[in-house]
Amino acid sequence: MKKTIGPAETKYFQLPGSLLLDNNDSLHEGTIAYETYGQLNKAADNAILICHALSGDAHAAGFHAGASKPGWWEIMIGPGKAIDTNRYFVVCSNILGSCMGTSGPSSLNPATGLAYGLKFPVITIADMVKAQKQLIDFLAIPRLLAVIGGSIGGMQSLEWTIRYPEMVFSAILLATTQRHSALAIAFNEVARQAIMADPNWQAGDYYQGTKPDMGLAVARMIGHITYLSDEAMRHKFGRRLQDKEDFSFNFDADFQVESYLRYQGKKFVERFDANSFLYITKAADYFDLAPRPRADGSLKSPFSRARARYLVASFTSDWLYPTRESRAMVKAMKKNSLDVSFCEIEAKWGHDAFLLESERLSNLMSGFLDRMGRESQDYAL
């Protein structure tokens, strides 16, 4: 029987000084919410950073006081699990721009004493990583054994290996991409438009009044379409009707798929901030690690800086970040003589497969981390 880490608690770290952002703005008095599991060893070489996706939080494993639901990656993180807390010191922090304890548009702006709203600077994936770096420094971790993330968490993990190559021994990238595709940007844009079209959005200044729940719910519904797959939808819903024998001939939810999306939308607005959705999806849209032209016109890949060993996994039914995008990333790594392993996992549940119980994925990750543990010993700082 695999065990849980048990009680978990979110802690808060104040960013020292101000954080210089990619848009040349600065974030003042920023806060990072984080959790840790397991123990950092004496050599401080067993730390793993978990990067969460769009709507995640710092609570990746274990149970908060009084809660019946565990953290979002309980299936992967714990004693004897793929990310084994008996061996590794695991850190997970809430991303910049989010609303789960780390500074974001719903946080108080120290300059005004009111919620930032759209006064919060537009951030990038790199900005999220710069903030995480401050936390890792504060935790006195000189080098991470691994950075692990799926989807937008995978983008952060990739960014880590390029921005701080000397601090990352390896990275596990799940269901992610090195550059946001037109399709992914398009879905994000429609979701953002849904939020901004809600009259309650009020140009982002809604924290004193009614929140743009309908807009955010629709945005989440669009998201859920991209997280599933055609096959997953046929399996899960088909054309089955929800709690009725015949069509209602009105605009209630007749079909199960409609009811599912409405439920997901409704559930989401209870825990997530609409402005955070705008900021984080925009950061994902900006993400692009394609080769850049040098002064002499030749191309330079961001991966030429990287030194990490990589494990890349895609899922057959993921149409948001399909296998070909993982392959493009693997190709760039190979061209830069980086050690990379790649596996396309057969899965019918679409993009979200990385969050679901999978013996295959667990075994891949634990095998890869085992090797990283051994190789990092031969490769002292």
Footprint on this chain of another protein (rule: CB under 8 A): 309, 311, 327, 330-331, 334-335, 337, 339-346, 360, 363-364, 366-368, 370-371, 374
Cβ within 8 Å of residue 54, ≥6 positions away: 151, 152, 223, 277, 280, 281, 284
* CB nearer to another protein: pick between 266 and 335: 335
Closest separation in Å from C-beta 150 to another protein: 17
Closest separation in Å from C-beta 145 to another protein: 14
Measure the CA–CA gap between 116 and 96, rounded to whole angstroms: 13
Catalytic residue among 318, 326, 358, 376: 318
DSSP 206-252: -TTS---HHHHHHHHHHHHHHHS-HHHHHHHTTT-BSS-SS--SSSS
Q: Is 89 helix (H, G, I), strand (E, B) or coil?
A: strand
* CB nearer to another protein: pick between 187 and 315: 315
* CB nearer to another protein: pick between 194 and 361: 361
* CB nearer to another protein: pick between 64 and 371: 371
| Cβ(306)–Cβ(334) below 8 Å | no
* CB nearer to another protein: pick between 282 and 331: 331
Closest separation in Å from C-beta 379 to another protein: 12
* DSSP state letter for 68: S
* CB nearer to another protein: pick between 282 and 348: 348
Closest separation in Å from C-beta 376 to another protein: 13
Closest separation in Å from C-beta 362 to another protein: 10
DSSP 97-125: T-SSSS--TTSBPTTTSSB-GGGSPP--H
Measure the CA–CA gap between 161 and 285, rounded to whole angstroms: 19
* CB nearer to another protein: pick between 58 and 345: 345
| Cβ(83)–Cβ(76) below 8 Å | yes
Cβ within 8 Å of residue 124, ≥6 positions away: 21, 22, 23, 283, 286, 287
* Most distant CA atoms of the chain, gap in Å: 69
Catalytic residue among 93, 103, 107, 151: 151
Query: How far lies 52's CA from each of 43, 96, 203, 223, in Å?
Result: 26, 11, 27, 16
Catalytic residue among 55, 351, 352, 376: 351
Closest separation in Å from C-beta 46 to another protein: 17
Its sign, for the CA torsion 79, 82, 88, 93, is negative
Q: Please confirm, yes or no, whether 351 is among the known catalytic residues.
A: yes
CA dihedral 56, 58, 59, 65 (to 10 degrees): -130
Residue with tokens 């920023």: 30
Closest separation in Å from C-beta 329 to another protein: 12
- Catalytic residue positions, numbered: 151, 318, 351
